A = this chain, B = another copy of it.
Amino acid sequence: MPLNNIMTEKFLRSAYGGESMAHMRYLIWGEIAEKENLPNIARLFRAIAYAEWAHANNQFRELKDKKGSFSVSAGAVFVVGKTVENLQGAIDGELHEAQQLYPVYLQTARFQNEKGAERAFHFALEAEKIHARLFQEAKTAAEQGKDMELGTVYVCPICGHTHVGTIPGKCPVCGVTEDKYKTFPA
């Protein structure tokens, strides 16, 4: 369905910018964690970078009728430090998205009856809550100078749902079957 409202359209573009920058900083922070000999935390960064790709992918595709070059304004966290510090940056970013940004974007999409954007923002919101929690677990370990305990991470390619341990039968957020999940093995 076409996008009819400029506010939702701007929020989709801003969300795409934010997700793209989050994806990128998680790749960078993952390399730093790898060099600090924290392979599980590095793997968590890579898995969540993939989830942010799924969010950006949805948002970009919802904008398909609004072609062209645009100036995008989006929030981003900048830190290049030790992994403990980078993880605090990750937590700050995820909490901002889970508590402020996506609740408002989702509310707007509903208010403007933009079904595709509503779906994309709902998917992101649900995943960011989990991301904040996983990064908090990682930080607790890193503060003690240890790598985190981390089973296999499963990420839904449709909605970015991020799950640790045994694979969910189907995605609890978007319903996709488990064979579609992308796996980051322990």
Residues of A within 8 A of B (CB): 13, 16-17, 19-21, 23-25, 27-28, 53, 56-57, 60-61, 63-64, 66-81, 89, 92-93, 96
**A70 in complex: contacting residue of B19, B23, B75, B92, CB < 8 Å:** B75
A13–B69 touching, CB < 8 Å = no
Q: In the bound complex, how far is the Cα of B66 from the Cα of A103, in angstroms?
A: 28
A24–B16 touching, CB < 8 Å = yes
B71–A78 touching, CB < 8 Å = no
Across the two chains, which residue of chain B brings its CB closest to A60?
B28
A97 to chain B, nearest CB (A): 11
Known contacts A63-B80, A75-B69: A24-B23 contact under CB 8 Å: yes
Across the two chains, which residue of chain B brings its CB closest to A64?
B80
Q: In the bound complex, how far is the Cα of B89 from the Cα of A45, in angstroms?
A: 30
Which residues of chain B have C-beta atoms less than 8 A from A24's C-beta?
16, 19-20, 23, 53, 56-57, 60
**A80 in complex: contacting residue of B28, B60, B80, CB < 8 Å:** B60
Other A-B pairs beyond A24-B60, A68-B77, A69-B96, 12, CB < 8 Å: A13-B76, A16-B76, A17-B72, A61-B80, A64-B80, A67-B79, A69-B93, A71-B75, A72-B73, A72-B75, A72-B76, A74-B74
B13–A17 touching, CB < 8 Å = no
Which residues of chain B have C-beta atoms less than 8 A from A64's C-beta?
79-81
Which residues of chain B have C-beta atoms less than 8 A from A60's C-beta?
24-25, 28, 78, 80
30 contacts between A and B (CB under 8 A): A13-B76, A16-B21, A17-B21, A17-B76, A19-B24, A20-B20, A20-B24, A23-B23, A23-B24, A24-B53, A24-B57, A24-B60, A25-B60, A27-B53, A27-B57, A28-B60, A60-B80, A63-B78, A67-B78, A67-B79, A67-B89, A68-B77, A69-B75, A69-B76, A69-B77, A69-B92, A69-B96, A71-B74, A71-B75, A73-B73
